[in-house]
A and B are shown apart, each in its own frame.
Chain A
């Protein structure tokens, strides 16, 4: 179609932008296999010892475990309260006061770093809640908007008369929800889980205030390590994190198709 033609200059510019986007990540991969004790690119000699080193630095393996369980716990809790909320907001919108739908946008509106500081001040220091539960609370709150909005979006295209049909045939409401509604919005729930999980695992600003010498998350540990050392181990941990991203993208592609991310 004639209208779809794009000027070659714009194509060239776009090519440069994508080099800018992907290049730095390629550089990290290169730096992670360099056989030198300092970070360099292009790599001089190839070695995998920096990858072995990750598992010898106990702080990395320990915080990796913490980040993973934290993301799992925080996301699950958030979905547990978020799915019913999303359902109610889609199903009973007219019956509910309109301010309720803005409540779940608040965790996005308040800057993350302000939220982290406030939770540390009130919940951890003020109420004496231990660090780990505080972290779980912070992460669950951080991902709640994703859970509510993504599940709501998939409920928007669900025809609630199917659920009504099940109920009118004698199915209890809770069972109709579990066997009729939930399987129909499965894709939305998976998408919410994935987005929330990746947000939680990469979080810096909330964890920043809630971690300490005893307990830390991987991104915080990485930041601390970067400020003191400058060796390729950081690059190899970064590559591992990129592999997590690859796994996530593959999952999204197989379950929903990546185009859902531009909607």
Chain B
């Protein structure tokens, strides 16, 4: 047996699994959306001509974008400090970031249900401090979904960026320092540009993750803050409109893959040396 044949035999089971259990079902889902009784793409025309459905798509994009921007800001600063922390502290901080990440989405969203509820801690604290005079209803608002999403994704952002910052050789920064660069210049002219590909990877992970999420908008957003994921589930399992659900699925996939493709091209252009 040649090496080529052996290689094919070894990748075949996993490749077949992906083709049969992913390619075929997902392809089937998409193909039913393109052509039906009323002609080509009528399902997409339907989707985009409904103000309600456009609002769901826009809300999802908006929540995912805001979540990504906030996570980038918080994650970058935190990752920078973590990467410079002395040995034992670094270990503790990484454990504190990994722990939430390994805890399920349902549990982490549930925490915010306790915090943001009418009799929740956030209201109790603000009442006792006299900031508000009666409890606010914070659940089922865009804000509560965004807070919970940021909570979900910040650890991922921190770990991604720490990984990138650690790979920047100390010598570069030391060299800049020995040439008289101020701490600020060292950061903006050396560290930041080298970290950009990591920021892009983190942003893609957070955007696609929050764009396609289900549990968090379901628990903290309810019907009022329906997002594409919750909309897909409602169409498929509550109203049994499988064509409608398939159209939502196709739009979600197109957005996700486009973002991944465009951003990875951008990352390559900005830093051709980085993989």
Which residues of A are in contact with B by a Cβ distance under 8 Å? Answer: 1-6, 10-11, 13-14, 17-18, 20-22, 24-25, 27-28, 31, 38-41, 80-82, 84-85, 87-89, 91-92, 95-96, 100, 103-104, 106-107, 109-115, 117-123, 126, 137-138, 140-141, 144, 148, 198, 201-202, 204-205, 208-209, 219, 222-223, 226-227, 234-235, 238, 241-242, 245-246, 248-249, 258-259, 261-263
Contact = CB atoms under 8 A, between A and B. Distances in A.
B143 interface: no
A59 B199 CA distance: 42
A6 B84 contact: yes
Interface in B45-100: 74, 77-78, 80-82, 84, 91, 93-100
B105 A109 contact: no
B218 interface: yes
Q: Interface SS of chain A: helix, strand, loop or mixed?
A: helix
Contact of B106 (A10, A103, A219, A249): A219
A111 B102 CA distance: 19
Contacts, number: 263
A119 B25 CA distance: 6
12 contacts: A18-B78, A22-B99, A27-B111, A84-B13, A88-B6, A88-B11, A92-B4, A95-B3, A104-B14, A121-B29, A204-B104, A219-B106
Interface stretch (B34-42, B128-136, B231-239, B266-274): B231-239
Contacts of A6: 80-81, 84
B219 interface: yes
B208 interface: yes
B107 A241 contact: yes
Contact of B77 (A13, A40, A141, A261): A13
Q: Interface SS of chain B: helix, strand, loop or mixed?
A: helix
Interface in B200-236: 208, 211-212, 214-215, 218-219, 229, 232-233, 236
A138 B214 CA distance: 17
A208 B214 contact: yes
Given A113-B212, A118-B28, A121-B28, A219 B10 contact: no
A243 to B, nearest CB: 10
Contact of B18 (A104, A205, A263): A104
A141 B17 contact: yes
B163 interface: yes
Nearest to A177: B10
A118 B29 contact: yes
B251 to A, nearest CB: 10
B93 A18 contact: yes
A258 B91 contact: yes
Given A27-B121, A110-B253, A117-B236, A21 B154 contact: yes
A5 B246 CA distance: 53
Contacts of B113: 226
B143 to A, nearest CB: 15
B26 A115 contact: yes
Interface size class of B (residues with CB under 8 A): 35 or more
B245 interface: yes
A146 B257 CA distance: 19
Interface of B: 2-4, 6-8, 10-11, 13-15, 17-19, 21-26, 28-29, 74, 77-78, 80-82, 84, 91, 93-100, 102-108, 110-115, 117, 119, 121, 151, 154-155, 159, 162-163, 166, 170, 173-174, 177, 183, 186, 208, 211-212, 214-215, 218-219, 229, 232-233, 236-237, 242, 245-246, 249, 252-253, 256-257, 260
Nearest to B167: A263
A45 B35 CA distance: 62
Given A117-B249, A223-B215, A122 B260 contact: no
A61 to B, nearest CB: 17
Give the 8 A-B residue pairs with the shortest CB-CB distance, closest first. A92-B7, A24-B111, A202-B104, A88-B10, A111-B212, A122-B25, A118-B25, A85-B14
Contacts of B29: 114, 117-118, 121-122
Contact of B162 (A91, A246, A262): A262
A14 B28 contact: no
B159 A262 contact: yes
A126 B28 contact: yes
Contact of B121 (A2, A5, A10, A41): A41
Contacts of B233: 113, 117, 208-209
Contact of B94 (A14, A121, A126, A259): A259
A25 B111 contact: yes
B14 A258 contact: no
A249 B96 CA distance: 11
A18 B2 CA distance: 54
A110 B232 CA distance: 14
Contacts of B95: 249, 258
